[in-house]
Amino acid sequence: MITEQDILDPSTKARCRRWTRRIINTQYFFTAVLLHILFLLLWGSWVVLEKFEPKGTIIADGGLFIKNPQSHAIAPPPAPPQEIKEMEKEIREKTSSSRSVEQKIPRITVGTPKPSFSIPDSPPSFGPDLEIKSDENLAKKFAEGEKNRIKNIRTFIKNAINNGAGPLNFGNKKNLIARFSCYVGKYDGGDWNCNYGFVADRRWHQNCINNLMLQIKRWTKNNVNAELLPESLDLGSREWIENIHPPFVFITGHQDFSLNENESQNLRDYLMMGGLMWIDNSLPGRRSRFDLAVRREMKKVFPDRDFEAIGNNHPLYDAYFHFTAGAPAGMNFYREPIEIIKVGAGEGDAAVIYTLNAYSDLWETALTDKDKVDVQYDFSHERNQWIGRYGPHWQPYTWSWERQFFYRNYSEKSIHESYKLGINIVFYLLTRFQDKFMKLPGGVL
């Protein structure tokens, strides 16, 4: 065991002890290196295939391969037998007789009839009774339909937030008042609960979205109070659409997954009603198996829509905190821009928000009242063990090899920045329709 004195000791012997301890801690890596060396020693000298060396000389001449040729000249083919000559003679006689028969048959020439119509020199003129009518009220009908859609969205959000009172915004973005329940979506296949944590002693532990909502509650001084319910939403059921009306559904994962027909249809209906789906890629970056699955499966929900990256001047980056350089760096220093899918008329409204930098991994670690990483433990009587308030990716020792090789950029600064972005996303998705609500009778909620 390395003591504090060993860590501070600059001698060569102490350094050797520290490196030896680090090598011992790398159980899987060290074991894999030993196994590779063992396999190399055992099977490194085995001969799998011997080199092929043809005997003699092989020359390609006219598509024929000749082995050990005496000369490059190819002997002429042998003369055909007498029966073949007689068959050829018989075929030639039949061919000549058929040609003589063809010459005796008279030829019949069929002429091409002349057309009985002519193309006029000038275009035809129509009478005064014929006129082309256009629906002059089409634009008005379209605008009325969009107005009704926004009305329905206002009703949906009003029922989802503040027990029917809706979000109250007094002009200042930091004065938003909202009470609502948030849910994690459960889809078919994959690991939808990878950052879900667990419930013990009637409280959440190491749950990414619960930690985010607690931090938002702290920063807004209880003005925005969201409760994460312990049960997840089964995306294949209609109950959550017809009875629950969540303002948004949070989805994450590492693995490939596939939405079934019911899940795709329910998500489409929910998003067209005014709901929003927030997807966080827990396997950060583009072209990961989760990223490929998200883009493929969202085509089932909106076949005619594509993800589009938002610019650094998007309102989302100024919804609560101000981000000048776009999305902050997430796990392993990935800094992909946030992407959205829009629905509706004109420029459309955000229906899907996709963050690619594994911020949910960072939210597994809670912050204290002073915005520092919470390294405290809570004793669980239900599990009869101590449970840390920091997530599985956080290690209290800065020299941890896991944080240097696998969980890079898992620092206190990156965790704090990810929480700031999280509150911006929540504020944006709650207030994204406020400008359109202002144009309706009755204004905002």
What are 421's two structure tokens?
């972005």
Q: Please tell me the predicted confidence (pLDDT) of residue 268.
A: 95
What are 59's two structure tokens?
């020359």
Residue 398 has pLDDT above 60, yes or no: no
Q: Please tell me the predicted confidence (pLDDT) of residue 213.
A: 92
Query: pLDDT band at 100, cuts 50/70/90?
Result: low
Query: pLDDT band at 277, cuts 50/70/90?
Result: very high
CB 262 within 8 A of CB 233: no
Of 180, 253, 150, 245, residue with least CA distance to 426: 180
Which are the contacts of 350, defined by CB distance < 8 A and separation ≥ 6?
Answer: 276, 340, 341, 342, 428, 429, 432
Task: Give 241-274 pLDDT, tens digit per residue.
Answer: 888 888 999 999 999 999 999 999 999 999 999 9
Strands 178-186 and 248-253: parallel
Per the listing, tokens 């700031």 go with 420
Query: pLDDT band at 61, cuts 50/70/90?
Result: very low
* C-alpha to C-alpha distance for 314 and 50, rounded to whole angstroms: 64
**CATH H superfamily, domain 154-438:** Domain of unknown function DUF4159 (3.40.50.12140)
Q: Which residues pair with 341 in a beta bridge?
A: 352
Q: Please tell me the predicted confidence (pLDDT) of residue 387.
A: 84
What are 60's two structure tokens?
């390609």
Per the listing, tokens 């919470």 go with 374
Q: What is the mean pLDDT of residues 16-29?
A: 71
Going from N- to C-terminal start, the domains of the chain cover 154-438
Query: pLDDT band at 388, cuts 50/70/90?
Result: confident
Mean pLDDT score across all residues of the chain:
78
Task: Please give the DSSP secondary-structure letter assigned to residue 146.
Answer: H
CB 364 within 8 A of CB 208: yes
Highest mean predicted confidence (pLDDT) among 6-10, 263-267, 391-395, 433-437: 263-267
Task: Give 42-57 pLDDT, tens digit per residue.
Answer: 877 776 666 656 555 5
Q: Please tell me the predicted confidence (pLDDT) of residue 151.
A: 85
* Least-confidence region, from 81-90, 138-147, 289-298: 81-90
CB 357 within 8 A of CB 414: no
Global pTM reads 0.67
Task: Give 183-199 pLDDT, tens digit per residue.
Answer: 899 998 888 988 877 78
